[in-house]
Amino acid sequence: MEKLFCLGLALGMVGGALLVANSYKMRCLVKKSQAEMVQKFDEMMDEKLQKDQKPQDEMPEKKSKK
> Which DSSP string corresponds to 26-42?
HHHHHHHHHHHHHHHHH
- Give domain status of residue 40, yes or no: yes
**Does the pLDDT value for residue 47 go beyond 70?**
yes
Residue 48 placed within a domain: yes
For residues 53-64, average pLDDT: 62
- Is 19 part of a structural domain of the chain? no
- Average pLDDT in the chain: 84
Say yes or no to pLDDT of 64 above 70: no
Of the two residues 56 and 28, the one the predictor is more confident about is 28
pTM of structure: 0.52
How many domains does the chain fold into? 1
Please give the residue range of the domain that contains residue 35: 24-53
Q: What confidence tier does 1 reach under pLDDT thresholds 50, 70, 90?
A: confident
Burial class (CB in 10 A: 0-12, 13-18, 19+), 20: middle
